[in-house]
Amino acid sequence: MRNNRAGATLTVPSLRKIGKNKYKFEGVTQEGATVDATVTMLVTPARSCGKWHLVLDATPVDLSSILINPVATSIALADGSFGCLSATGRIDR
| Distance of alpha carbon 81 from alpha carbon 44, whole angstroms | 21
Per-residue confidence (pLDDT) for residue 56, from 0 to 100: 85
Residue 4 pLDDT grade (very low, low, confident, very high; cuts 50, 70, 90): very low
Domain residue limits, the chain: 16-89
Each residue's pLDDT tens digit, 73-89: 666 666 776 666 555 56
Each residue's pLDDT tens digit, 14-53: 889 999 999 999 999 888 889 999 988 888 888 877 788 8
The model scores a pTM over 0.75: no
Entry field: residues in the chain: 93
DSSP string covering the chain? ---TT----------EEEETTEEEEEEE-TTS-EEEEEEEEEPPPTTSS-EEEEEEEEES---TT--SS-EEE----TTS--TT--EEE----
